[in-house]
Amino acid sequence: MAPKPKTITDTDIQALSLPDAVTLRETIDTHIKTLQDAQKDDILSQVQDLLGGAGLDVSVLSSLLPQPSTGRKARSDAGVKQAPYYRNPDDHSQVAFKRGKKPGWMRELIDSGMKIEVLMIENQK
């Protein structure tokens, strides 16, 4: 029969020096990781036994589980060519789109006091 492990009290912990407390924490962290790994191995073994009894392979599980998200949802209009939204009233070859950075000509006109609404193509008809 294994000996009963010693119980550590709050008083014992408070009496530890900093180096001893760090060492104790490292020992506990290592022990917790070992227990978690053993638990995962046990669960995996049980799952493999259940699947094997049903004539299935572990690879079947991956198709049943939801796939992890990449984090960002793609825009619904990603990759779609956008029509110009703004046009320089003095030079119709200069156009800008609603998305993205404003081109230099547009920033210059806005900085000179022109309202952005004047640059909208729908308002230049």
Residue at 81 is within a domain = no
Residue at 49 is within a domain = yes
Which carries the bigger pLDDT value, residue 64 or residue 101? 101
pLDDT class for 3, splitting at 50, 70, 90?
A: confident
Residue at 92 is within a domain = yes
Residue at 71 is within a domain = no
b/e code 28-65 from CB counts within 10 Å (16+ = b): eeeeeeeeeeeeeeeeeeeeeeeeeeeeeeeeeeeeee
Q: How many domains does the chain have?
A: 2
pLDDT at residue 2 above 80?
no
Residue at 105 is within a domain = yes
For the ranges 4-8, 89-93, 111-115, which has the lowest average pLDDT? 4-8
pTM of the model: 0.44
Write out pLDDT tens, residues 102-115: 999 999 999 999 99
Q: What does the pLDDT read at residue 110?
A: 92
State how far the Cα of 70 lies from the Cα of 68, in Å rounded to an integer: 7
pLDDT-above-90 percentage for the chain: 40
Name the residue range of residue 98's domain: 86-123
